[in-house]
Amino acid sequence: MQAMSMPIMMLLIFGVFWLLIIRPQAKKQKEHQEMLNKLGKGATVITRGGVIGTITGVAANNVVVLEIQEKVRVRVPRAYIENIWNEDKGESKADTKAA
C-alpha cells in the first residue's frame, strides 16, 4: 500500500500545480496574443518599458511604429506591447479590469 501512495501523491501535486500555475498563465498568454492581433492604426498602447504611444503603422516582421510625440516615432516589436492605454483615465485596460 505504501508503494501505491507515492505515485498518487505525485499526480495530485502535479494536478494542483497545473491548476494553480500553468493553466492561468496559458490563459493570460492567449488573451494577450488575441489583444495583439486586434491592434491597428490609431490604437494608443503602452509598451513593457512604459512608453505610451499611438500606432501609426505596421512594418515588416511584426514591428509596429509608435508615435510617442508629434513627429517622434519609434519602432517596437509587436510582442513588446503590454496593453491598450485608456487615455481618459490614464490607465491601461488591464488596470480597469482589475478594479
Examine the pLDDT at 6 and tell me if it is beyond 90.
no
Q: Which residues, 6 or more positions from 79, have their beta carbon under 8 angstroms from its beta carbon? A: 36, 62
Collapsing DSSP states into helix, strand and coil, what is residue 45? strand
Examine the pLDDT at 96 and tell me if it is beyond 80.
no
Task: From 40, 51, 49, select the one nearest 73 (Cα to Cα).
Answer: 51
The pTM score is 0.67
Other CB atoms within 10 Å distance of the CB of residue 47:
19
Residue type, position 73, single letter: R
